[in-house]
Amino acid sequence: MKKNILVGQSGGPTAVINASLYGVVTEGMNHLDEIEHVYGMVNGMEGFLKDDYMNLSEELTQKELELIKLTPAAYLGSCRYKLPKDLTAPSYPTVFRKLEALNIGYFFYIGGNDSMDTVSKLSRYGARIGSSIRFIGIPKTIDNDLMLTDHTPGFGSAARYVASTVREIALDASVYQQRAVTIVELMGRHAGWITASSVLARKYQGDNPLLIYLPETAFDFRSFAKDLSRALERQPNVVVCVSEGIADSSGRLICEYNDEARLDNFGHKMLTGCGKVLENFVHNHFGIKARSVELNVSQRCSALVSSAADIEEAALAGAFGVRAALSGASGQMVAFCRTCEEPYAMECSLVDVNQVCNREKPFPVQWIIENGTDISPDFLTYVLPLIQGEVKRPISQGLPVYAFRKP
Amino acid sequence: MKKNILVGQSGGPTAVINASLYGVVTEGMNHLDEIEHVYGMVNGMEGFLKDDYMNLSEELTQKELELIKLTPAAYLGSCRYKLPKDLTAPSYPTVFRKLEALNIGYFFYIGGNDSMDTVSKLSRYGARIGSSIRFIGIPKTIDNDLMLTDHTPGFGSAARYVASTVREIALDASVYQQRAVTIVELMGRHAGWITASSVLARKYQGDNPLLIYLPETAFDFRSFAKDLSRALERQPNVVVCVSEGIADSSGRLICEYNDEARLDNFGHKMLTGCGKVLENFVHNHFGIKARSVELNVSQRCSALVSSAADIEEAALAGAFGVRAALSGASGQMVAFCRTCEEPYAMECSLVDVNQVCNREKPFPVQWIIENGTDISPDFLTYVLPLIQGEVKRPISQGLPVYAFRKP
């Protein structure tokens, strides 16, 4: 008897989460002997619990699917919903009744480590009640902080966006002769992958950004003042890239030197403002022009310079997940395994989702050099293959065309 | 006897100020019967007064010139230098001695209304002393606020960047179900042209941004609360676009409800933070999630989605200026005159630089509709031709290649 697929998107948007959705839907439709429908949860588990879903295999044309593949954010909508820790909670029978009612055989959740927690819990509950539904996680996060995978879909495009934009900001910063410091605040609460990518912005050795600070190293204002003094001796315009999550050696976040922190639904601190704190510090300490630029949500939602490599790998992850589930896998996350460095080659594999959820992979300390102010060339070998390739995008009236669900 | 050209860039960077430089240099080199060298001031008048200039016609290859044409910011460097009001000040003989020493016959200054002030003063002083040097202004500003021209080079690319980016931010804002407001703060101290361009971000009628506020209309917090209430009844995710320079009916800037204002060299208020002020207002007044995004310097320096039409027109303005100067014009600015609306056609012309400098062209009030919360479709007819065309850009190691002066 044929079964149906249910796929959802969860957590923050990326430039390529829809490419993974494309991968799941198109691969599902390649197996019409085993799959009847591919359903999509609208707004992830939160929407699904309110019976909000759509029939993707029926409602979408191939042309629409191709457009979805190139559209940033999350076509199905997303959520930040966490299932109870206690597997005897009433949510679990509710979810499984809904899954059975839709004749779901294969469940795919595209997201980061919070979303892998959902996959882990559902697959453990399913095993407990002897359900035959297979649960697979498809990785997604611009932060590149998932365990057991070489990298995550979404990171390559974010890295490319950051590199391109910081390169432009460095050009902008260089036009005046006056000594001036530009602080660029980049995403990354605990992991410095995105901020490290700003090293790609350099057009030549010794170019801006002259200083790069990741959350993996304790930030110290006195060291920063010394580092910056030295940089200002080299050239009048200094660009400094910092992760939003940099903290001092006591663990106090630099943005809390401001005190605007709030909490999100997961109890994460909502960070803003370490760039502003440093801007004020530079202005007061050096008495020179300082400004801060927060690249903000564009890091995760901009498709202006999406990496074609990233899009193709994201689609591949979705398709591989479907094939794995059909072959019997469950409670696994699709991972990327780099099989060759030069030339770059990678293969998809499966890893235990329980080893991934609620854990974070920091930026390697051996790639942080110059007393925590620069990034090793080894990182370039790692990251360059992930930012390659131009996307040919449909344009209408001078602007990129994106897919969206009709309101 | 052959004369030399001197060209400089002044004021804030744009995506296309280098295309105008390209236009001046290449057109200058097309007239080798009259022109010997094309010199470039490094850092505008400020650098020139320190004898900092370079020989562009000798030092640049055609290939480098083509790359400069596509590079954002300001290849020659810029300045914010203002000549004294008093034409009897000693700066004037100094400048003219330097111009004569370099055998300059034609002077081109690429910039906004502050730069046109320089052209005006030099041409008036030149006339007073009977100098034969011809002074021409080449328009440049993302703000589109120069008088007597249909539009300015730089605006089309800024408008395209804002439209593309706000479209992505609106997709990002739509992924969650929870009621939330995103405030996008856009450039424009007194003129709303850039902010108005966010109307292009809508994918369909009734799409975000649902509310758009320009500095041409007095901002009122009570009206804003009512407008936003109505918008939140239509959909849970509301994107609001605001100019950095919005002010209340008494003229008090909304960003000053924060009190972080400082002054720049021209005595302009350095604005930041009206987005943050509104974010806090929404959070406190509605008790819902609010965030603010400041697109910041990328509006002026990003070349990720430069408009090819804008680049070509910017180059044309430079070339036209050279031909005009060779024909005897001085004390003029190159202007764009729209000769046909459908299909769009424009011609370059000359306007008296004294009528341009130190004045600003506001966004037309008749294009501001819905009680100051929306933009008329007539603006679309105006702006659409300016954002057309893709740029084929050289890529190396996955990133755009830009020209720069060796440090």
Hey, which residues 335-354 in chain B have their CB within 8 Å of chain A?
none
Minimal CA separation from B186 to chain A, in Å: 13
Test A398 with B388 for CB contact under 8 angstroms: yes
Let me know if A52 is a catalytic residue: no
Minimal CA separation from B344 to chain A, in Å: 13
Residue A9: exposure state from Cβ atoms within 10 A (0-12, 13-18, ≥19): buried
Test A168 with B74 for CB contact under 8 angstroms: no
What is the pLDDT at residue B269?
47
How far apart CA B124 and CA B117 sit, in angstroms, is: 11
Q: Are strands B237-243 and B211-213 parallel, antiparallel or unpaired?
A: parallel
What is the pLDDT at residue B276?
86
Cβ pair B139, B152 in contact under 8 A: yes
Test B78 with A175 for CB contact under 8 angstroms: yes
Contact B297/A at CB under 8 A: yes
Length of chain B in terms of residues written? 407
How far apart CA A221 and CA A213 sit, in angstroms, is: 12
Cα–Cα nearest to B135, from B45, B1, B22, B59: B45
Contact B199/A at CB under 8 A: no
Cα–Cα nearest to A198, from A184, A219, A179: A184
Q: Choose the closest CB to B164 out of A78, A235, A399.
A: A399
Percent of chain A with pLDDT over 90: 92
Residue A370 structure tokens: 């110059």
First to last CA, chain B: 35
Mutation site for A-interface testing, chosen from B155, B172, B265, B292 by largest number of A Cβ within 10 Å: B172
- What dotted CATH number matches A3-151+304-357+389-400? 3.40.50.450
Return the residue of B nearest to A304 by Cα.
Answer: B304
Residue type, A187: M
Q: In which residue are the tokens 């060796």 written?
A: B406
Residue B225: exposure state from Cβ atoms within 10 A (0-12, 13-18, ≥19): middle
Test B78 with A407 for CB contact under 8 angstroms: no
Cβ pair A289, A282 in contact under 8 A: no
Test B294 with A294 for CB contact under 8 angstroms: yes
Q: What is the pLDDT of residues B164-210, one digit of tens each?
A: 999 999 999 999 999 999 999 999 999 999 999 999 999 999 999 99
Return the residue of B nearest to A264 by Cα.
Answer: B289
Minimal CA separation from B273 to chain A, in Å: 11
Q: In which residue are the tokens 């930012």 written?
A: A387
Q: Tell me the domain boundaries of chain B.
A: 3-152+305-356+386-400, 155-301
The DSSP secondary-structure symbol of A343 reads: T
Compute the count of residue pairs across chains A and B with CB atoms less than 8 Å apart: 161
Q: Choose the closest CB to A175 out of B13, B296, B400.
A: B13
Return the residue of A nearest to B273 by Cα.
Answer: A276
Cα–Cα nearest to A171, from A239, A241, A232, A235: A239
Beta bridge mates, A134: A106
Q: Choose the closest CB to A164 out of B13, B171, B399.
A: B399
- What dotted CATH number matches B3-152+305-356+386-400? 3.40.50.450
Mutation site for A-interface testing, chosen from B52, B71, B171 by largest number of A Cβ within 10 Å: B171
Hey, which residues 2-21 in chain A have their CB within 8 Å of chain B?
9, 13
Contact B384/A at CB under 8 A: yes
What is residue A129's three-state secondary structure? helix
> Which stretches of chain B drop beneath a pLDDT of 50?
259-271
Hey, which residues 73-102 in chain A have their CB within 8 Å of chain B?
73-74, 77-80
Active-site pick, A114, A117, A143, A310: A143
Looking at every residue in chain A, the average pLDDT score rounds to 95
Mutation site for A-interface testing, chosen from B71, B140, B176 by largest number of A Cβ within 10 Å: B176
CA–CA distances in Å: residue A109 to residues A3, A44, A255: 17, 8, 33
Q: What is the pLDDT of residues B294-313, one digit of tens each?
A: 999 999 999 999 999 999 99
pTM for the structure as a whole:
0.96
Test A172 with B395 for CB contact under 8 angstroms: no
CA–CA distances in Å: residue B18 to residues A298, B70, B316: 26, 7, 12
Cβ pair A407, B235 in contact under 8 A: yes
Contact B407/A at CB under 8 A: yes
How far apart CA B346 and CA B348 sit, in angstroms, is: 7
What is the pLDDT at residue B261?
44
Beta bridge mates, A55: A39
What is the pLDDT at residue A258?
65
What is the pLDDT at residue A280?
86
Residue type, A130: G
Test B389 with A398 for CB contact under 8 angstroms: yes
Superfamily of domain covering A155-301: Phosphofructokinase domain (3.40.50.460)
Cα–Cα nearest to B110, from B37, B6, B32, B35: B6
Q: Give the ipTM of the model, two decimals please.
A: 0.95
Test A171 with B13 for CB contact under 8 angstroms: yes
What is the pLDDT at residue B83?
96
Contact A277/B at CB under 8 A: no
> Which stretches of chain A drop beneath a pLDDT of 50?
259-271
- Residues of chain A positioned with their CB less than 8 A from the CB of B73: 168, 171-172, 174-175
The residues of B assigned a catalytic role are 143
What is the pLDDT at residue B258?
65
Q: Choose the closest CB to B167 out of A13, A176, A402.
A: A402
Q: Choose the closest CB to B169 out of A46, A301, A388.
A: A301
Q: Which residues contact A203 (CB under 8 A, 6 or more apart)?
A: A167, A170, B402, B404
- Residues of chain A positioned with their CB less than 8 A from the CB of B74: 175
Judge whether A3-151+304-357+389-400 and A155-301 match in fold: yes
